[in-house]
Structure 1
Amino acid sequence: MLDIFLKTLPFFALIGLGYGAGRTRFFTEEATAYLTKFVFYFALSAMLFRFSANLSISEIFDGRLAAAYLWGTAFTYGIAMAVAFLRGLKVETAAIEAQCAAIGNTGFLGVPMLALLLGQEAVGPIILVLAIDLIVFSSLLVILVTGSRDGRMSTAVLRTVGVGLVKNPMIVSIVLGLAVSGSGLPIPGPVNEFLATLGNAATPGALFAIGASLASKSAERVQIAGWLSFCKLVLHPLFVAAACYLFFPVTAFQAAVVVSAAALPVAGNVFILAQHYGLAPQRVSAAILISTAASILTVSVVIAWVTAPL
């Protein structure tokens, strides 16, 4: 446990450094926004493209593993929505709470941290988790919110979902990388070095940007945010673990990767969606802040637990 904690500590220290820079206004919100944009569109995209270009589809997609992660995530999503409905919330607000409960910061935190902690063999399952989060659950949120507000499903909703996926650089990077891999053409040496150099900026840049963005978030509605953080940090990895070990048995290593990914704190892009749709952004902000702070300990506990037999 201590060994894992010490390995994860530098990652969270970078988040803390970013938080300090944002809190002291050394890094303004505008500066943070531009750093986030650089990481999202350039550094992380280069990393994902390079990873995907060196993997085959079979190394990323495993039907049993996908089913296990989908089941565990959907179960967590459903519990959060049920609790929200019991509190009398509308469908769209319940959906954004469910998004907090079930979608982790796989892109900015999971890809760089878990790839280093668990090895390059973990990249395929991490990309699978990221793809499911972006394609299935982000699309589900758009469908639930838009359908609820319009009172019906329409082709416009599906068009919005499709455009959102096509414009997401992480999805585009993964698809293009797999296309290169499938073509069998090697990446030229200088291009590979360029992608590696640019991709190396993703880890420190993403972690610093997470911290700096947290500095502008407030911990309002702490009780609800605490519940959502509990769902994300405890229930989500537990349900994914149950799916991996009991219902859709996968290898111990595959289970370790996806359960570790499920233990990550609430994704920052949930706040962007909450702001865009005007759905409880303060509540989402608090959930991101609380879950990220608590994950310094909880992520280490989960990773130590799932990697113990390996």
Structure 2
Amino acid sequence: MLSILQVTFPFFALVLCGYVAARRRMLPLEAIGGLNGFVLFFALPCMLYRFGASTPIAQMLDATLFGVYLLCSLALVGLTVLTTRRGPAANRPGWNDTAFGALVAAFPNTGFMGVPLLVALLGAQVVGPTIVTLVADMVFTSSLCIALSRLDGAGQHGVAQALRNALRGVAANPMPWSILLGGLASVLGFSLPAPLQKTVSLLADAASPVALFTMGAVLARSQMLPSRQAASPRGWGDVPRIALYKLVLHPLLVWGAGRAAMAAGLPLDPFALTVVVLLAALPSASNVSMLTERFGADTGRVARIILLSTVVAFVSFPAAVAWLR
């Protein structure tokens, strides 16, 4: 356990540094968007391209792994929706808050934390299974939850429009495109010219520390902005329950479904299953708080879920690694 903490501690420490920097205004809140843009449009795409180009394409096209992971994510979304909307109608949150609560329960922080952390723990061979989960989360789970968020008085046309907007958002996200280009480079045996390859490597090397620092700053900003706008009407409410879903139920669902698939004779590599279980054990994705701001959901509630899951994951994630080893 101590050896695992020696690997995971620096990653969570960088998140804490970003959080403290934003809370103490050493980093202006207005600058966080610039850091986020650097990570999203430059550093992480270069990291994913480099990994994709060096990963056999078969590892990125694992249909069984994709099906197991997506099925568990959808089951978790359904459970969160059911438990959030139970009880008297007058006390239920609207579909907007329900949907983003479900998304933050099922969407791990794969981009900002999962890729660098699991590479440090298990090596570059984690990239194939990680790409499988990124596609499932960004294309399917996110699109479904955004569509659900439009059910409040939106009618059928509103839901269809929300799905189109969600897919447009996926198309504008550089990470899937960098994965696709890296996969093509792997298939074709293509190598970038040396000066360009060095540029990509420099940006890729910057991805891990800047992404983790930015994640902490985003968490701090998400907490600070609601206090200047509108406070969450439900306080902590269901925050601990949804954080528990993310950190405990999600990895257990993936592990159980994966073991069942292997017992049924489906082709599923045990190492790939370990990777996706650990990805499911990550805290909630910090970018969900940005989506709540965009769609007018309860940002304070989602920020608390992300913050609580990140804090608890400092202990729970190393425990998951030790359990799977």
Aligned to 1:161: 166
Task: Tell me if the contact between 2:147 and 2:160 (Cα under 8 Å) persists in the aligned partners.
Answer: no
| 1:94 counterpart = 2:108 | no
- What TM-score does the superposition give when structure 1 sets the normalisation length? 0.93
Task: Tell me if the contact between 2:56 and 2:186 (Cα under 8 Å) persists in the aligned partners.
Answer: yes
Aligned to 2:260: 246
Task: Tell me if the contact between 1:233 and 1:265 (Cα under 8 Å) persists in the aligned partners.
Answer: yes
| 1:293 counterpart = 2:298 | no
Task: Tell me if the contact between 2:251 and 2:277 (Cα under 8 Å) persists in the aligned partners.
Answer: yes
Q: For each residue in 1:157-207, what CA deviation from the matched residue of structure 2 results, as whole angstroms up to 9, or x when unmatched?
A: 443233111101111211222233333322223222221111000000001
1:90 deviation in Å?
A: 3.0
**Structure 2 residue identity aligned to 1:297:** V
Q: For each residue in 1:65-87, what CA deviation from the matched residue of structure 2 results, as whole angstroms up to 9, or x when unmatched?
A: 11111122222111111101204
- The more displaced of 199-208 and 245-254 is 245-254
| 1:110 counterpart = 2:89 | no
- The more displaced of 108-117 and 220-229 is 220-229
1:226 deviation in Å?
A: 1.1
Return the match for 1:232 from 229, 246, 257.
Answer: 246
| 1:206 counterpart = 2:211 | yes
Return the match for 2:236 from 222, 232, 250.
Answer: 222
**Structure 2 residue identity aligned to 1:23:** R
Aligned to 1:270: 288
Return the match for 2:322 from 279, 293, 304.
Answer: 304
**Correspondence 1:97-176 to 2 at 5 A:** 97-153=101-157, 156-176=161-181
Task: Tell me if the contact between 2:55 and 2:125 (Cα under 8 Å) persists in the aligned partners.
Answer: no
Count of aligned pairs: 307
Distance in 1 (CA, whole Å) between partners of 2:290 and 2:8 is: 26
1:290 deviation in Å?
A: 0.7
| 1:17 counterpart = 2:11 | no
Q: For each residue in 1:224-267, what CA deviation from the matched residue of structure 2 results, as whole angstroms up to 9, or x when unmatched?
A: 11111111011101101111112355332111100000011111
| 1:192 counterpart = 2:197 | yes
| Structure 1 unmatched runs, 5+ | none
- What TM-score does the superposition give when structure 2 sets the normalisation length? 0.89
1:287 deviation in Å?
A: 0.5
**Structure 2 residue identity aligned to 1:16:** L
1:284 deviation in Å?
A: 0.2
**Correspondence 1:2-13 to 2 at 5 A:** 2-13=2-13
Q: For each residue in 1:205-230, what CA deviation from the matched residue of structure 2 results, as whole angstroms up to 9, or x when unmatched?
A: 00111112222343962231111111
The alignment yields a C-alpha RMSD, in angstroms, of 1.8
Distance in 1 (CA, whole Å) between partners of 2:81 and 2:105 is: 9
